Amino acid sequence: MKKRLLCLYVENNVGVLAKIAGLFAGKNYNLDSLTVGPTNDITISIMTISLTSGDELFEQIKKQLNRCVEVIKVEDLTDPEAVTEDDKL
Amino acid sequence: MRIKGTELFIKALREENVDTLFAYPGAAVITLFDELYKQKDIRVILPRHEQALVHEADGFARSTGKVGVCLVTSGPGATNIVTGIATANYDSVPIVCFCGQVRRDLIGNDAFQEVDIVGITRGITKHSMMVTDRNQLGRAIKEAFYIASTGKPGPVVVDLPVDMINEMGDGQYPKDVQIRSYRPNKAAHIGQIKRAAALLREAEKPLLLAGGGIHVSGSEAEFTQLAEQTRIPVISTVMGKGSIPTSHPLYIGNLGMHGCFAANRAVMECDALCSIGSRFNDRITGRVDQFAPKAKIIHIDIDTASISRNVKVDIPIVADALHAIIELINYTGEHNTADWRKEIEAWQREYPLKAAKSKGFSSARIIELMNRTFTECIVVTDVGQHQMWTAQYLELNEKKKLLTSGGLGTMGYGFPAAIGAKLGNPKKRVICIAGDGGIQMNIQELATAVLEEIPIIILIFNNCYLGMVRQWQQLMYDRRYAGTNLRSGNYGRNKPEQYIPDFVKLAESYNAVGLRVFNENELITAFEAAQKEEKRPVVIECVIDSEEIVLPMVKAGCSLNEMILGDEL
């Protein structure tokens, strides 16, 4: 089990948060925290999700998130260097 | 040009080449029905229940490869389609469900016939959306058809508030569609294909596993070519059966819970297993940690999330089955599998699929008679014992197809799906096989079939029980038949000889043909009579032995090596 950090770029539509939260609930995944915020592009929102999981489950979670039609990109920011790089941007 | 939303809806269906619409009216969609009334290009089928409506669209879609299209009203109309949506979702069937919705200003007010259908179906659709902006209607419909029919196909729900659909607005229906977050990939990674080909080449006991994805991608011919070229024996899931003709010398049979002995043994002994279009469902793997213990596994699937979820695989290939198979054909040659095939043939001789010792009219004999009688047909099953007998004994090839609810296992699916299949294939013989339990879940569709002049044959295997559950109770719960006897109740205790309903009288009351048979000769005569009916559905009730069970059987959670073969019973 390891602390993980995911960053999701999603369509800024009604119900997308429910879809992501529903995916976690429906598949019995647990998350530690979830925040949603705007980006420079008004049509895109950014979701930051932290969770604790083993490697296999984490891979499955990323794949399931990528499957959602409204998810544009899934980034794994678990590696601390990646967080720093992202912050610089 | 500005037009009404209802007009754009009809225009969109025409542009998508929709010729059949399964629709049930209500307050929220009455204006759409009014628009449908004015046109003649689209045949509107009025079922007798919305659950059957979705299954009809599903059967239509599975048998034609086109998108099945549904239109229902808000509230109960929408909630009634939930089971059918989940059924289509688990079997990757492209359907688009348009649901009426209350006025936009009433949403969230608990208005009359309001439900959050997008919310309810979020977890069981490929995509769901509500269209709140009239000018986005055309784009939304275009996206719905595109998402439903591409990648891994699936159901899409489009919720249409009644005031939006009645509004004037943009009259254009988009020609093409771009969704930045949805770009389905078809092509296979050539490096992975080469690795897979090398693994198969080096294997001494390779095995091909055919899943439902082969039918979805329409790659039956290419798959057969791959098997013939490599000489690798083939096993199939229930959904994948027919990927290669069942009479083909390389075909062994189904694997899994009710698979045949040789197929399950082959899985346990093979050293390379190449799965195409299957998600390694628990019904085929049995106990996962003992599945294919000696094999390196190649897994070809269009859904990344299916890979290494249930079974850990060595070579994942994310691709459309057709593309992957064509590439595999390019990179493989002939393999020497003669010794391996001899080993499998010995297992086939040791325990061939045979009808269980049965006191009466055996199901296997009924299906074998069907095999002899019908050379070209679409067979649609319901769910339960009859489905497994069909999956075991039905012959399939280029001219014979099987449609069944494999993933969700929905009782009530078979009959309406057969109606949909016949509507999509008016020239083909369509036969529904159902149990006496499942047929009653959508029996009201006899009215639809009679009024629309849909001449399908409905075989009811009547054993007076919910047979599959009864079988589990017999084998695992000491014959305590709780809730599975369909004759139980005070009335049944007093008149045990009478089955309720009388299926023959019931069929006749709908002006369908009703026949009851007790043996093979009567069934031969019934089939002859049924084949002469050109406009009416024919219900044939086969009264079978109550205690017949499906064998072999691997109990849920057991290894594929632990088969109940029947000798011990």
Per the CB < 8 A criterion, the answer to whether B469 and B484 are in contact is: yes
B331 and B374, same domain (yes or no): no
How many folded domains does chain B comprise? 3
What pLDDT sits at residue B491?
Answer: 86
Q: If we measure between CA atoms, which residue out of B459, B419, B547 comes closest to residue B61?
A: B419
Residue with tokens 């929102």: A45
Rounded-to-integer distance, Cα A62 and Cα B374, Å: 48
A12 interface with B at CB cutoff 8 Å: no
Q: Does the residue B254 lie in any domain? A: yes
Q: Which positions in chain A touch B179 (Cβ < 8 Å)?
A: 69
- What tokens appear for B519 in the block? 């043996």
Q: Please write the tens of the pLDDT for every residue from B242-275.
A: 999 999 999 999 999 999 999 999 999 999 999 9
Does residue B245 sit within a domain? Answer: yes
Q: Are B383 and B414 in contact (CB under 8 A)?
A: yes
User: Residue A19's closest chain B neighbor by CA?
Assistant: B122
Phi-psi region of B554 (alpha: psi -120 to 50; beta: other; left: phi over 0): beta
pLDDT in tens, B191-242: 999 999 999 999 999 999 999 999 999 999 999 999 999 999 999 999 999 9
Query: Per the omega criterion (within 30 degrees of 0), is the bond before B496 cis?
Result: no
Tokens representing residue A36 in the block: 């949603």
Q: B483 versus B569: which is more confidently predicted?
A: B483
Residue A88's pLDDT band, with cuts at 50, 70 and 90, is very low
Are residues B132 and B228 located together in one domain of the fold? Answer: no
Q: Edge-to-edge strand order for the sheet containing B155-161?
A: B43-45, B20-23, B68-72, B95-101, B155-161, B127-130
Closest CB to A22: pick one of B123, B130, B305: B123
Both tokens assigned to B255: 């694997």
Kindly state whether residues B372 and B517 are assigned to the same domain. Answer: yes
Residues B108 and B136 in one domain: yes
**pLDDT value at A80 more than 70:** no
pTM passes above 0.90 = yes
Which residues on chain B are in Cβ contact (under 8 Å) with A66? Answer: 304-305
pLDDT given at position B367: 95
Residues B390, B343, single domain; the answer is no
Same domain, residue pair B419 and B329: no
- The arithmetic mean of pLDDT across residues B429-447, rounded, is 98
Question: pLDDT tens across A39-65, in order?
Answer: 999 999 999 999 999 999 999 999 999
Chain A CA closest to residue B305? A63
Domains detected in chain A: 2-88 (3.30.70.260)
Q: Is the pLDDT of residue B385 over 50?
A: yes
Residue B244 CA, chain-centre distance (Å), reads 18
CATH number at residue B532: 3.40.50.970
Nearest to B54 by CA among B83, B26, B24, B84: B84
Q: Does residue B34 sit within a domain?
A: yes
- What rounded mean pLDDT belongs to chain A? 90
Peptide bond into B416 cis (omega under 30): no
What is the mean predicted confidence (pLDDT) over B350-377?
Answer: 86
Q: Which residue from B473, B382, B472, B495 is spatially nearest to B436, judged by alpha carbons?
A: B382
The whole domain housing B97 covers 2-170
A13 interaction partners in chain B (CB closer than 8 Å): 129
How do residues B50-60 score in pLDDT, each as one tens digit? 999 999 999 99
> CB–CB of B370/B461 below 8 Å?
no
Q: Is B104 in CB contact (< 8 Å) with chain A?
A: no
Percent of chain A with pLDDT over 90: 85
Domain identity same for B130 and B197 = no
The verdict on B142 touching A (C-beta cutoff 8 Å) is no
Contact A23 B127 (CB under 8 A): no
pLDDT in tens, B99-143: 999 999 999 999 999 999 999 999 999 999 999 999 999 999 999
Calculate how close chain B gets to A70, using CA atoms only, in Å: 6
**Of A77-81, B517-521, B558-562, minimum mean pLDDT range:** A77-81
Answer whether residue B242 is part of any domain.
Answer: yes
Mean pLDDT across B5-23: 98
Q: Are residues B122 and B19 in the same domain?
A: yes
CB atoms within 10 A of CB A20: 22
Mean pLDDT value across residues B445-470: 98
What's the average model confidence in pLDDT over B307-322?
A: 95
Q: What integer is the mean pLDDT of B517-537?
A: 97
Question: Does the pLDDT value for residue B316 go beyond 60?
Answer: yes
Question: B46: part of which helix (H) or strand (E)?
Answer: none
The pLDDT value given to residue B179: 95
Nearest neighbour of A18 by CB, restricted to B122, B179, B309: B122
Nearest-angstrom CA–CA distance, B34 and B247? 51
CATH code of the domain containing B308: 3.40.50.1220
Residue B559, in any domain of the structure: no
- What residues contact residue B85 under an 8 Å CB cut-off, 6+ apart? B54, B95, B97, B121, B124, B125, B155, B157
* Residues B6, B119 share a domain: yes
A19 touches chain B (CB under 8 A): yes
- pLDDT value of position A31: 93
Looking at residue B404, what is its pLDDT?
98
Q: What is the pLDDT of residue A89?
A: 45
Residues B312 and B333 in one domain: yes
Question: Whose CA is closest to B520, among B368, B378, B417?
Answer: B368
Angle between helices B137-149 and B5-15 (to 10 degrees): 30
Q: Is B226 helix (H, G, I), strand (E, B) or coil?
A: helix
| Summary mean pLDDT of chain B | 96
In a shared domain, residues B332 and B449: no
Is B225 exposed, middle or buried (CB count within 10 Å of its CB: 0-12, 13-18, 19+)?
middle
Minimum mean pLDDT range among B86-90, B133-137, B149-153, B489-493: B489-493
In a domain, residue B358? The reply is no
Task: Check whether residue B8 and residue B144 sit in a common domain.
Answer: yes
User: Burial, B447: exposed, middle or buried (Cβ in 10 Å; 0-12, 13-18, 19+)?
Assistant: middle
Tell me which of B322, B350, B378 is where a domain ends. Answer: B350
Rounded to 5°, angle at Cα B27 from B21 and B28: 65
What pLDDT, on the 0 to 100 scale, is given for residue A18?
Answer: 95
**pLDDT > 90? residue A81:** no
